[in-house]
């Protein structure tokens, strides 16, 4: 087995760590930045407070970003960065504003649009990049420490990732207090995204020991704390544990990447509007069973390390957790009606991410999975 591990992001974790943002900006020597955030964070006053405390370093706000950001959102964000002559940006929010900001920062000093890079194959140029500080407000994507941006191109009707070593944030602030206002349904969905990152990195063909030990830790935390964070939104301990799970699962998948459940999540979100984590979770128990016996039952051993009798018991626990939190369990509930729709879902799920699964899965395997989910 050979592997490489790299994670060049400085992480600031803990309650009230957000107060250190001005000091961090100062230490990094940045002069003129734009705050990139979701509208929710603008409306609830958090964005305003951050601007007020930035010692004049944050000169503008950009918040025109929808959940599952589009390439249009990124281009508008790039425009704001260029117009403000920004030498850095702060992303504040869940995966959507963080991914939008990350892609925008990667091309800010150039003169092209993001589509050229996202699906057009143009490489990121280090002379066009400005640095970004990520402040996560959901416990979910881990985007604050990855070099990945997931974007939807509405013209091409495709949701796909772009990544480059130049796209890592410079620093990540994870302050659990910022997640207290996350509504239960978003807590459930983003928490299941954490679980998907932890598990898919284990059954990715690129799995490796450092990441796998992070997966064990994150998986145990999710099963211990997610339901509590969902049912008691103001429970700071549960929020802190889920924030820890999120960042540790981010480390877990940062190098092995994700696999089949994320591959399936993209069309489930794009075509049926299922939120990202909920969409990943829809197939997570299925992939756990698919992969259970691979590589001499490595996943069974992983499941035992996490406190389950085997991978099948882990799969059952995933189903129970989804059900308890009111997540979609069938395709019918999200509006999939015809066999043509199942064909389309299957076709759109067979992306390179699917090829990362340690068990090779065919078109028919995935189609049969979808049929069994009706
Ligand atoms: N870059 C990566 O490595 C990576 C990994 C997984 C997923 N993603 C992507 O991230 C996106 C999903 O991100 P997400 O799940 O964090 O959701 P999100 O960023 O879309 O946020 C979901 C909702 O929660 C609200 N919200 C966020 N923080 C809040 C807070 N503190 N209080 C109240 N409301 C709050 C937002 O306004 C939004 O309405 C998807 O596009 C997904 O594909 C990226
Ligand atoms: Fe994800």
pLDDT tens per residue, range 323-332:
999 999 999 9
My answer on whether 146 and 248 are in the same domain is: no
Per-residue pLDDT tens for 93-112? 999 999 999 999 999 999 99
In a domain, 121, yes or no: yes
Domain limits for position 154: 10-178
My answer on whether 157 and 50 are in the same domain is: yes
- Does the pLDDT at position 168 exceed 90? yes
My answer on whether 32 and 154 are in the same domain is: yes
146 lines ligand 1 (CB under 6 A): yes
Binning pLDDT at 50, 70 and 90, where does residue 71 land? very high
Q: How many domains does the chain have?
A: 2
* Cβ-defined contacts of 229-235 (< 8 Å, 24+): 229/139, 229/187, 229/191, 230/184, 230/187, 230/188, 230/191, 230/325, 231/184, 233/180, 233/181, 233/182, 233/183, 233/184, 233/187, 234/180
- Does the pLDDT at position 358 exceed 90? yes
Binning pLDDT at 50, 70 and 90, where does residue 342 land? very high
My answer on whether 139 and 220 are in the same domain is: no
In a domain, 4, yes or no: no
- What pLDDT does 33 receive? 98
Host H or E run for residue 35:
strand 33-37
Binning pLDDT at 50, 70 and 90, where does residue 1 land? confident
My answer on whether 200 and 226 are in the same domain is: yes
My answer on whether 170 and 200 are in the same domain is: no
Per-residue pLDDT tens for 216-263? 999 999 999 999 999 999 999 999 999 999 999 999 999 999 999 999
186 lines ligand 1 (CB under 6 A): yes
My answer on whether 166 and 213 are in the same domain is: no
Ligand 1 atom having least distance to the Cα of 97: 19
Residue 96 Cα to ligand 1 middle (Å): 5
My answer on whether 155 and 218 are in the same domain is: no
Q: What's the mean pLDDT in 260-285?
A: 97
My answer on whether 57 and 125 are in the same domain is: yes
Ligand 1 atom having least distance to the Cα of 39: 37
- What pLDDT does 100 receive? 98
Binning pLDDT at 50, 70 and 90, where does residue 265 land? very high
40 lines ligand 1 (CB under 6 A): yes
Domain stop point among 151, 178, 205: 178
Q: Whose CA is nearest to atom 1 of ligand 1?
A: 143
In a domain, 2, yes or no: no
Q: Whose CA is nearest to atom 29 of ligand 1?
A: 182
Q: What percent of the chain has pLDDT over 90?
A: 98
My answer on whether 98 and 64 are in the same domain is: yes
Q: Whose CA is nearest to atom 2 of ligand 1?
A: 143
My answer on whether 310 and 168 are in the same domain is: no
68 lines ligand 1 (CB under 6 A): yes
**Residues in Cβ contact with 118 at an 8 Å cutoff, skipping those fewer than 6 apart:** 71, 74, 103, 151, 153, 160, 162
My answer on whether 231 and 361 are in the same domain is: yes
- Does the pLDDT at position 362 exceed 90? yes
138 lines ligand 1 (CB under 6 A): yes
Per-residue pLDDT tens for 103-152? 999 999 999 999 999 999 999 999 999 999 999 999 999 999 999 999 99
In a domain, 3, yes or no: no
CATH of the domain at 283: 1.20.1090.10
Say if strands 58-62 and 33-37 run parallel, antiparallel, or are unpaired.
parallel
pLDDT mean across residues, the chain: 97
CATH of the domain at 38: 3.40.50.1970
pTM of model > 0.85 = yes
């Amino acid at each position: 087995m050979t592997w490489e591990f790299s994670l060049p992001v400085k992480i600031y974790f803990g309650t009230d760590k957000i107060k250190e943002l001005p000091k961090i900006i100062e230490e990094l020597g940045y002069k003129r930045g734009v705050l990139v955030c979701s509208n929710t964070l603008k409306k609830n006053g958090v964005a305003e407070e951050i601007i007020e405390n930035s010692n004049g370093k944050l000169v503008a706000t950009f918040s025109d970003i929808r959940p599952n950001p589009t390439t249009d959102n990124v281009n508008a964000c790039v425009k704001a960065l260029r117009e403000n002559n920004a030498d850095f940006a702060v992303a504040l929010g869940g995966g959507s504003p963080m991914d939008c900001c990350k892609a925008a920062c990667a091309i800010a000093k150039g003169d092209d649009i993001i589509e050229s890079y996202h699906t057009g194959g143009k490489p990121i140029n280090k002379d066009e990049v400005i640095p970004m500080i990520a402040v996560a407000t959901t416990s979910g994507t881990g985007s604050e420490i990855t070099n990945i941006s997931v974007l939807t191109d509405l013209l091409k009707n495709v949701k796909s990732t772009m990544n480059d070593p130049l796209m890592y944030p410079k620093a990540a602030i994870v302050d659990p207090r910022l997640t207290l206002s996350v509504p239960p349904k978003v807590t459930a969905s983003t928490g299941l995204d954490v679980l998907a990152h932890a598990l898919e990195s284990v059954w990715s063909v690129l799995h490796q020991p450092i990441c796998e030990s992070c997966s064990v830790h994150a998986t145990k935390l999710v099963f211990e704390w997610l339901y509590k964070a969902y049912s008691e939104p103001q429970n700071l301990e549960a929020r802190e544990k889920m924030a820890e799970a999120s960042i540790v699962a981010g480390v877990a998948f940062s190098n092995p990447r994700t696999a089949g459940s994320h591959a399936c999540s993209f069309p489930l979100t794009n075509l049926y509007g299922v939120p990202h984590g909920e969409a990943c979770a829809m197939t997570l128990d299925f992939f756990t069973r698919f992969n259970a016996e691979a590589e001499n039952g490595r996943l069974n051993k992983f499941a035992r390390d996490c406190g389950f009798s085997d991978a099948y018991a882990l799969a059952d626990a995933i189903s129970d957790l989804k059900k308890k939190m009111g997540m979609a369990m069938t395709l019918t509930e999200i509006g999939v009606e015809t066999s043509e729709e199942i064909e389309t879902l299957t076709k759109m799920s067979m992306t390179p991410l699917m090829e990362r699964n340690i068990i090779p899965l065919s078109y028919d395997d995935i189609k049969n999975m979808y049929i069994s989910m009706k």
